Structure 1
Amino acid sequence: MIKKFIDEKLLPFLFMQPTHPMRFNELMKANKLLVDNMLLEGSIPGVKLRLGRVYLFMIFVWNLILIPLAMIFHKILAKIDCHIAIMMAVFFTLLFFGILSIFKQWAMERMAEKMIKKAWSIHFPYCDYETFHEKVAKFYGDALEKGVTGANIEMYIMNALSLEK
């Protein structure tokens, strides 16, 4: 249920998605980056993070958590020294931006995987993503090392897959 909400509601709210499908070379590059755990931001064409919406979502979630906690501990917080309150405000601000950064990275990886799976179903209709994505990334890396370029990369990977099965 939560996964469905994230994939169908939250990610489309946070990202601008491309109207055209991913090309084969773009798919291979994005898949390789995802398998190698590299940064994906900016590497998937047409996918753009809507930063204002990310801030709005995080502020909403942050307040959803902090306001009830502040109400519960209000009497204790009212009695503390103002210097401690300032230090707590700085700490919670740092915590907010740290969590925001981690959330942006997680959302980008989740959106990238969603877009890669969508493009995978177009370019590899007979190969399951979960089974073959790591092998295809390896074949793509091998093709780049051997100097294979352009449309020949697709032929190289398809040949390697046919020999693998």
Structure 2
Amino acid sequence: MFDKLIDEKLLPFIFTQPKHPMRFNELMRANKLFVDNMPLEGQIPGVKLRLGRAYLFMIVVWNLVLIPLALIFHKILAKIDCHVAIILAVVFTLLFFGILSIFKQWAAEKMAEKMIRQAWKIHFPYYDYETYHAKVAKFYDDAVERGVTGANLEMYIMNALSLEK
């Protein structure tokens, strides 16, 4: 349920999505980067982070966490020295931007995986993503090493998959 909420509501709110499906070569490159655990931000064509919306989401979540904490510890916070309050403000600001950076990277990975899965259904309808995505990445790597490009790349990978099955 939580994954469905993220996929259907949060990711479309934070990212722009392309109108056209991913091409085969783009899918192969993105899948290879995903399998190798490389950063995918900016690697999927047409997918762009809406930074203002990411900030807005994080500010709302941050305040949903901090306001109840501030209300619970109000008496203690009211009695502390102002210098400690300034240091706490700096620490919470650092935490906010650190968590925002981690959130942006996590969201980019989730969005890339979602786009790769959508393109997989188009280009490999008879092959399960979970079973074959690592094998296809290996075949793609072999094809690039051999210098296979263009339409021959798709034929090379499909032939390798059919021999694998």
Settle same-fold status: TM greater than 0.5. yes
Residue deviations 1:32-59 (CA, integer Å, cap 9, x gap)? 1111110101100000110000000000
After superposition, residues 79-90 of structure 1 pair within 5 angstroms as: 79-90=79-90
Structure 1 equivalent of residue 58 of structure 2: 58
Q: Residue 145 of structure 2 corresponds to which residue in structure 1?
A: 145
Query: Which residue does the alignment assign to 1:115?
Result: 115
Distance in 2, Cα, partners of 1:34 & 1:88: 38
- 1:155 is paired with a residue whose SS is helix
Stretch of structure 1 that moved more, 141-150 or 63-72: 141-150
- 2:3 alignment partner in structure 1: 3
Alignment of 1:1-165 (within 5 A): 1-165=1-165
Counterpart CA distance in 1 for 2:164 and 2:121 is: 19
**TM-score computed with the length of structure 2 as normaliser:** 0.98
Length, aligned pairs only: 165
Q: Secondary structure of 1:21's match?
A: coil
| Alpha-carbon distance, 1:84 to partner | 1.0
Tell me the CA shift for residue 83 of structure 1: 1.1
**Amino acid in structure 2 at the alignment position of 1:96:** F
**TM-score of the two chains, using structure 1 as the length reference:** 0.98
Secondary structure, counterpart of 1:37 in structure 2: coil
Q: Counterparts of 2:42 and 2:151 in 1: how far apart (Å)?
A: 23
For the aligned residues, what is the CA RMSD?
Answer: 0.6
Deviations 1:134-158, CA, capped at 9 Å, x for gaps: 0001111111111111111111111
Unaligned runs of 5+ in 1: none
Structure 1 runs of 4+ aligned residues shifted over 3 Å read: none
